[in-house]
Amino acid sequence: MPIAARTRSGGFGGREEFRKYTKDNGIDAIIDATHPFAARISRRTAEVAASEGIPCLHVVRPPWTPGPGDRWTEIDEPAEAAAILPVGARVFLAVGRQTLRAFGPLPGRTLYCRQIDKAKEPFPWPGGEFVIGRPPFSVEEEEALFRRLCIDWLVVKNAGGEASRSKLDAARRLDLPVLMLNRPPLPPGPVVETVDAAVAWLRGLG
């Protein structure tokens, strides 16, 4: 969608190229609105901003929080999953292909991981299978999928947002336990949760 601003797509090719871009283009404010789990990008952005004396704001949507009927266990690192997921469990890993390997092979469990397009490579460990599906999904669709696969554990990254919350609502309906991976910490600096708040911060810079 066209916007009334100069745009640029793709990465910068490293920290120094990012720094050079800010200098060459006279950047005097940075708003980091990447995915809550894009820790490396947020950290690099904050480092470049600090080194150049550029104000930097992080925009992060609110995380999901458990409600009545939810059965969540929270973890800070994927490696913790092996001690919690019981052997014999049928596990739906809603964590994305890039994060999948961080959870390790989890031997003795049946694993399913959803991705949008057909996998170019086989599942990284025995006993696993990719499930192809393009979001958004309704609560009913998620519930039907979990029933069809006989899922008894759901593993999720706490990305927040209403668009992908349906899997959590389906888990509540089915009384499924959820293993929730907490977000990595943000770099130091101001944080807001909405676009309006980010615009207000930008205007406040004068």
For each of the chain's 206 residues, which pLDDT tens digit applies?
455 677 888 889 899 999 999 999 999 999 999 999 999 999 999 999 999 999 999 999 999 999 999 999 999 999 999 999 999 999 999 998 889 999 989 999 999 999 999 888 899 999 899 999 999 999 999 999 999 999 999 999 999 999 899 999 999 999 999 999 999 999 999 999 999 999 999 999 97
CATH dotted code for 71-181: 3.40.50
Residue type, 124: P
- Ordered strands of the 191-192 beta sheet: 30-32, 56-59, 191-192
**pTM score:** 0.91
Question: Residues near 22 by Cβ (< 8 Å), separated by ≥ 6?
Answer: 30, 48, 49, 52, 54
- Cis peptide, bond prior to residue 136, ω within 30 of zero: yes
* pLDDT, position 205: 94
Those residues with Cβ within 8 angstroms of residue 135's Cβ, 6 or more apart along the chain or in another chain = 116, 163, 164
pLDDT (0 to 100) of residue 8: 84
Tokens (6 digits) for 192 = 């807001």
Q: Alpha-carbon torsion 43, 48, 52, 54, what sign?
A: negative
Q: Where are the domains of the chain?
A: 15-60+186-204, 71-181
Q: Which two tokens stand for residue 161?
A: 């947002």
Could you tell me the two tokens for 137?
């999904």
- What is the reported pLDDT for 4? 63
179: CB partners within 8 A, 6+ apart: 72, 73, 75, 81, 84, 85, 153, 154, 155, 156
Cα–Cα separations (whole angstroms), residue 133 to 68, 83, 98, 115, 124:
29, 29, 16, 6, 19
pLDDT, position 1: 47
Predicted confidence at residue 3, as pLDDT, reads: 56
Residues 6+ apart with CB under 8 A from 138: 166
- Residue 189: CB partners within 8 Å, gap ≥ 6? 46, 49, 56, 57, 58
